[in-house]
Amino acid sequence: MQERKLILKTIWHSAICLAFASSIVITPRFSLAEPVSGASKAAQIRIDDSAHTFRLDAGDTTYAFGVNQAGALQTLYWGKRLRPADPIPAAKADNGTSSFDPPVNATPQEFVGWGGGLSIVPDLKITFPDGNRDLVLKYVDHKIDGNQLTITLKDIRRDVFVHLLYKADGETGIIARSARIENHTSQALTIEQVFAATWNLPASDDYRLTYLTGRWADEWNLQQQALRPGKVVLESRKGSTGDEVNPWFAIERGQQPDQETGDVWFGALGWSGSWQINIEEDWQERPRITGGYTPFDFSYLLAPGQSMETPTFYGGYSHTGIGGASRLLHRFELGSMVPQAPHPRVRPVLYNSWEATGFDVNEAGQEALAEKAASIGVERFVMDDGWFGERKDDHAGLGDWFVNPQKFPHGLKPLIDKVHSLGMDFGLWVEPEMVNPDSELYRNHPDWVLNFTDRPRSEGRNQLVLNLARPDVRAYVFGFLDKLLTENDIAFLKWDYNRNWSEPGWPSAPLPEQKEVYVKYVENLYSILAELRQKHPGVEIETCSGGGARVDLGILRFTDEAWPSDNTDPFDRLSIQDGFTYAYAPGLMMAWVTDSPNWMNNRSTSLEYRFLSSMQGSLGIGANLNKWNAEDFTIAKHLIDQYKAIRETVQQGSLYRLMSPENGEYSATESVAQDQHEAAVFAFLHSSSKGKPFPRLLLRGLDPDATYSIHAEDGSLADGTVERASGDYWMQHGVSVSLRGDFQAALFTLQREPGQ
């Protein structure tokens, strides 16, 4: 004990002398999206060498931590941006209250190893080859590289280094955190658990936790619960992100938090494999959020000289409620994350044939649909499942990525040429990571799937999961996609993934490395996506997983949009889409107009209602156009024209939830352009009851002093609605829409008058 104290002290002193030699303020260059109302702020890193503190100021947020007297890295502040001269007092370890409550558990640490009596969730747990499992990490150094701050921790005895990476986004204040573990010992060690980061919140007795849960066709349900001492675990053990819980959370503070007011802390993981987020609250009511790979069935062998980097855990703070938190995330995704950031182009209106034809695709049928789609203003024609191998239904063909010669005797070229001649670009469905046992690929390579030797191989939708961690499988998948994109003029891939993992074995890997399949699979998935995009820069990709089971901030670095749900019923979609936008931008959300009655629940709705529901995101048409009459085409063309006029505002603007669809009876959203020149409001009435009028809509986010004119289809606004008024008027007095009946919808826009 005595000896440990001495060594600790020595390391601490030399580290401090080394690292705090000077006081630095760095204003990094940062790639920013269009500033919100011109209010962009640069990210700054400040280091106070006397108090031994680090401070990140970005957007409206300040994040601060420091090295305490025990050499541990301790969170000091995370919240609304402080004044530059405001002091950040030095870190001081919390001594706890008794021998049962040692400082290692009581002190809010940024990243903590399992050792020295830790009983809360560790960020890192290691087994060394000699049986030692004690790991105590202390600060040794820091480095600033551009806008990235790196803090280095080291075990008190062994040469295990942990580099903590911090990068703050100057516009939104969202901080990207990850950890790199380096083994400088002379023997391989086993990482049993490693998270990206821990976020610590101040003590408060009125926190409310929000997260998103679901299942196939019922994704993105908002769950809210009071946070109490104890632990909540959000997790996927499925091999991919999953739709049961999405790797996103928000924690609101206040007795009655609402959409637009109050403190909210939120976070999201950038990882598309199995994951875990732990929300622990201690007896002092201080939440502590730790996230990254799930430790379940996890093991990673780190050879001497090797390092491994965790996924990124993004965290942000909003002082304008959970609505403000969503808007920060939306801006961050579009401005700093997606492949086309900081200025993603508006999403084209697409047509997809899946609900019209199912697997029954062929040249003549697709061309006929393409002609009809072009006539209403569709810009992208996407052929879905069924075009390859022996794919007549979902029993065969997956893995055989050659064009089916009966359905397309001349290959894809005639169809693609036809689509181009109609003024649209062409997209194609693929499901690259899967194989049907009834396929050439599986017959030739039965060892390519995830499996345990001599154990059953459980199927889902008659398919097995290819083990993308294997270099030969990675080469095959990249190879066929590269060939497909090289030989055909394809602008878009809908990249599907239709089951979870089972029997996650990798028998051909050395035994101590077999569980690395969870990490290496996803790393190869990302590297394929990155390499394809680099080689075919014009190609856009949609992430789809039988609906919304693989949407996260990891895959969104390589994909341009996401399919939120196979449920395309326009009423169900109101709440599905509402949930989606808590974490992800409306512009990333593909939304199709499909047939009525809907296949999912046999509900009948008007074409206008279906359009208005889908126009809240990135608009697609998935209906069987062969069944439409002339009036349907006229309505569709008109609404698509209307959508194109407002889509930039809807897809990339600021979203305000005026009334949640969870209320049952009504809902409304408002999107405001980044420069506030325009707003688009969508209002939905589920079912009129007892003559009750639709509640007046109090708008948000407008320039209060500017004059806006209001525009709507005849009859959608209440009699007496004025034509023009100040932004303040529309926000304070509001707008009355005249909706009556069942499944009714209205759209109106506000335009700022010229010269304002």
Catalytic residues: 496, 566
Nearest distance, CB of residue 335 and ligand GLA, angstroms: 28
Task: State which residue, 620 or 701, has the beta carbon closest to ligand GLA.
Answer: 620
Q: How far is CA 63 from CA 46, 175, 178, in A?
A: 10, 9, 15
Q: Are 371 and 405 in contact (CB under 8 A)?
A: no
Binder to ligand GLA among 57, 182, 496, 670 (CB under 6 A)? Answer: 496
Contact between 547 and ligand GLA per CB under 6 A: yes
C-beta of residue 337 within 8 angstroms of C-beta of residue 553: yes
The residue behind tokens 């630095």 is 24
Q: How far is the CB of 427 from ligand GLA (least distance, A)?
A: 12
Instruction: For ligand GLA, give the closer residue by CB, 348 or 546.
Output: 546
* All residues at 6 or more sequence positions from 617 whose CB lies less than 8 Å from its CB, including other chains: 564, 577, 586, 587, 589, 590, 591, 650, 651
Closest CA to 406 of 366, 365, 363: 363
Q: Are strands 425-430 and 380-383 parallel, antiparallel or unpaired?
A: parallel
Q: Which is nearer to ligand GLA, 163 or 494 (CB)?
A: 494
The CA distance from 239 to 635, in Å, is: 43
Cβ neighbours, 10 Å, residue 499:
22
Smallest gap from Cβ 428 to ligand GLA, in A, equals 11
Report yes or no: 681 and 747 within 8 Å, Cβ to Cβ.
Answer: yes
User: Which residue of 172, 241, 336, 498 would you call a contact of ligand GLA, by CB under 6 A?
Assistant: 498
Q: With contact defined as beta carbons under 8 Å apart, do 449 and 398 qualify?
A: no
DSSP-derived secondary structure for 142-185: EEEETTEEEEEEEESSS-EEEEEEEEE-TTT--EEEEEEEEE-S
Angle of helix 570-583 relative to helix 321-332, nearest 10 degrees? 80
Q: Are the C-beta atoms of residues 85 and 62 closer than 8 Å to each other?
A: no
User: Per-residue DSSP letters for 364-379?
Assistant: HHHHHHHHHHHHTT--
Q: Which is nearer to ligand GLA, 499 or 700 (CB)?
A: 499
According to CB under 6 A, which one of 541, 544, 621, 650 is a site residue for ligand GLA? Answer: 544
CB of 566 to ligand GLA, least distance (A): 5
Tell me how far, at minimum, the Cβ of 546 lies from ligand GLA, in Å: 4
Nearer to ligand GLA, 385 or 560 (CB): 385
CA distance 753 to 727: 11
Which residue lies nearer to ligand GLA by CB, 53 or 567?
A: 567
Query: Where are the alpha helices (H) located in 457-588, listed in sequence order?
Result: 471-487, 517-535, 570-583
- Which residue number, 70 or 361, has a Cβ lying nearer to ligand GLA? 361
Please report how close the Cβ of residue 408 comes to ligand GLA at its closest, in angstroms: 17
The CB-of-404 to ligand GLA minimum distance in angstroms stands at: 14
Q: Are 264 and 251 in contact (CB under 8 A)?
A: yes
Q: Is 429 in the site for ligand GLA (CB under 6 A)?
A: yes
State which of positions 364-403 bind ligand GLA (CB under 6 A).
Answer: 384-385
> How many whole angstroms separate alpha carbon 213 and alpha carbon 240?
15
Using CA of residue 526, residue 529, residue 534, residue 539, what is the dihedral sign?
A: negative
Name the residue whose CB lies closest to ligand GLA. 385
* Nearer to ligand GLA among residue 53 and residue 543 (C-beta): 543
**Distance in Å, CB of 304 to ligand GLA, minimum:** 45
State both tokens at 491.
């602008």
With contact defined as beta carbons under 8 Å apart, do 412 and 388 qualify? no
Nearer to ligand GLA by Cβ, of 46 and 407: the residue is 407
Q: Which region among 62-70, 114-122, 448-456, 543-551 touches ligand GLA (by CB under 6 A)?
A: 543-551
| Residue 433 is a binding residue for ligand GLA (CB under 6 A) | no
- CB nearer ligand GLA, residue 315 or residue 548: 548
Q: What residues from 206 to 265 belong to the interface with ligand GLA (CB under 6 A)?
A: none
> Counting contacts by CB under 6 A, is residue 57 touching ligand GLA?
no
Q: Does 546 bind ligand GLA (CB under 6 A)?
A: yes
Restricting to residues 326-365, name those near ligand GLA by CB under 6 A: 354
User: Count of alpha carbons within 13 Å of 191, Cβ hemisphere only?
Assistant: 30
Buried b (16+ CB within 10 A) or exposed e, 3-22: eeeeeeeebbeebbeebbee
For residue 634, give every residue at least 6 positions away whose Cβ sits within 8 Å of its Cβ, in sequence order, or none: none
Report the nearest approach of ligand GLA to the CB of residue 7 (Å): 57
Could you tell me the two tokens for 514? 């077999």
Three-state DSSP class for 419? helix
Total residues at interface with ligand GLA (CB under 6 A): 11
Binding residues for substrate, by number, are 216, 384-385, 461, 494-498, 544, 566
Strands 492-495 and 425-430, by their bridges, are parallel
Tokens of 620: 């697609």
Query: Rounded to the nearest whole angstrom, what is the least distance from the CB of residue 429 to ligand GLA in the complex?
Result: 5
Annotated binding site: 216, 384-385, 461, 494-498, 544, 566
- Candidate ranges 161-169, 238-246, 279-287, 540-548; the one touching ligand GLA (CB under 6 A): 540-548
Q: Is 278 in the site for ligand GLA (CB under 6 A)?
A: no
Q: How far apart are CA 165 and CA 312, in angstroms?
A: 9
Q: Which stretch binds ligand GLA (CB under 6 A): 3-11, 297-305, 544-552, 715-723?
A: 544-552
**Binding of ligand GLA at residue 581 (CB under 6 A)?**
no
Which range touches ligand GLA (CB under 6 A), out of 98-106, 278-286, 520-528, 542-550?
542-550
Residue span binding ligand GLA (CB under 6 A) among the ranges 108-116, 439-447, 541-549, 552-560: 541-549
Residues in contact with ligand GLA by CB under 6 A are 354, 384-385, 429, 496, 498, 544, 546-547, 563, 566
